[in-house]
Amino acid sequence: AAAVVVALPFQSADELLPEVASSCSEVPVIAACKGLHPKSLERVDEVFVRHVGRGRMALLSGPSFAREVAEGMPTATTMAAYDESLAAQAASLFDDTNFRIYTSTDVTGVALGGALKNVIAIAAGIADGLRLGHNATAALITRGLAEISRLANACGARPETLHGLSGLGDLVLTCTDDQSRNRRFGLAVAGGKSV
């Protein structure tokens, strides 16, 4: 194998990664999942590093609905790794005319952008479900980005990362389209459904 891509819900990482680490010890392990660990609150990269090490972990994140990627629609994302050459190597595995990957060494910023936007997307879904208007949703997304950026910067992320594809790009996509599970969750809550 050239690499292992983990595209399962992040909750399954602790169960899967020990097997990946032992059976595929020489190839990059690419996280194509987002979130924070439900118990430890570790970022995706922290969990992957714990199992496979810093030198093999890469993180694919950014504004990309799987259905649109599968249909060949133009998409741009970010591949982050602690080493620029690993980020470039991992990105090259996905190189395609309609799928552009930018590289980054700000793994913290990419991981937090992909995780924290979910909270804002739920709030945007609630705001839209309550018909509070586009002004309210725009304000919510903008102020949400400010909060995400402050938290990510406090954790060591670079500001430009949160203003790129894996921050602002992912936030806008997740907050504005009903393909987003988090947005749909917010719409359901606004419609009176229980959590």
Q: Annotated catalytic sites, by residue?
A: 117
- Residue 17 has, within 13 A of its CA and on its CB side, a CA count of 24
DSSP β-bridge partners for residue 104: 80
Name the residue among 109, 179, 111, 183 with its Cα closest to residue 140.
Answer: 183
> DSSP labels for 134-163?
HHHHHHHHHHHHHHHHHHHHHTT--HHHHT
Torsion of Cα atoms, 104 then 107 then 111 then 117, to 10°: -50
Whether the CB-CB separation of 147 and 115 falls below 8 Å is answered with: no
Bridge pairing between strands 29-31 and 57-61: parallel
CA dist 186 to 75, 138, 177, Å? 25, 16, 12
